[in-house]
Amino acid sequence: MPEPLDHFVARLLALATIEEDTGARRLPPERELGDALGMSRGALREQLAVLERLGFLHRTQGRGTYLDTPSYGFVRTYFTIARSLGYITEPDVAEARVLVEQAVAEAAARRATDEQIAGLREAIDRMEAADAAGDLDSVHVADADFHRRLLHVVANPVLLFLQEGLRRALDDDMRSRRASVTLAHASGEFDRTHADIVDALVEHDPEAARLAMRRHFGITEADAVGAAAVHPARA
């Protein structure tokens, strides 16, 4: 039975050499690695191949094999297949996005720099210009950029990993919400909530940022009070 992958990685880490110039974790040559781990060449290659498919290992011709920060490709594939199988549904994505984006806005209000705020305002300007021109594709690009920039203000690697993994699903949710407000001729009001979020960041007011994000998703405090009355255990 193959060794659990997390145990295998822990043993690899103990044998890896940290390169001074890059900080990369370089593994010993395969034969040396197998001897040190007490593994056959076949078993070693099988485990290394799994790590490579997951994006935790890469090979550079002429340099060697490295343990690496994972790529987002595998997690994107995971979420895409999970959606295809019905394990993750569109309502699940929409609800998760509301919950996460409120927390992100609140945290961003504590950390946003002037440069980051300027980038968010620039995304809003592009959004509004594209909306005025009736260019919905460009509106969506700017909208997605706004929310990605907001997440990068927080710079939490777990959230970034989830966001990249769910990018396709999140883009679909953003397009759906944008189509709804455009159909209702409410895109101007919808985009103003982006500005409200940024204003709260300028004031470094986490609560105002959270409430602005709730309004962005069409959630009012009256909605929250009503939900608490119906489901008191959730309040």
Pick the CATH number of 88-219 from 3.90.1150.10, 2.60.260.20, 1.10.3720.10, 1.20.120.530: 1.20.120.530
90-95: long-range contacts, CB 8 A cutoff, minimum separation 24: 90/169, 90/172, 90/173, 90/176, 93/166, 93/169, 93/170, 93/172, 93/173, 94/173
- Judged by DSSP in three states, 31 sits in helix
- 5-67: CATH topology is Arc Repressor Mutant, subunit A (1.10.10)
- Residues in a beta bridge with 40: none
Confirm if 127 and 139 have CB atoms less than 8 A apart: yes
Would you give the end-to-end CA distance of the chain in angstroms?
A: 47
pTM: 0.73
| Residue 231 confidence (pLDDT) | 39
pLDDT per residue over 167-209, tens digit each? Answer: 877 888 888 877 777 666 666 677 788 999 999 999 999 999 9
Counting as low any pLDDT under 50, the low residues of the chain are 222-235
CATH 1.10.10.10 in the chain, residue ranges:
5-67
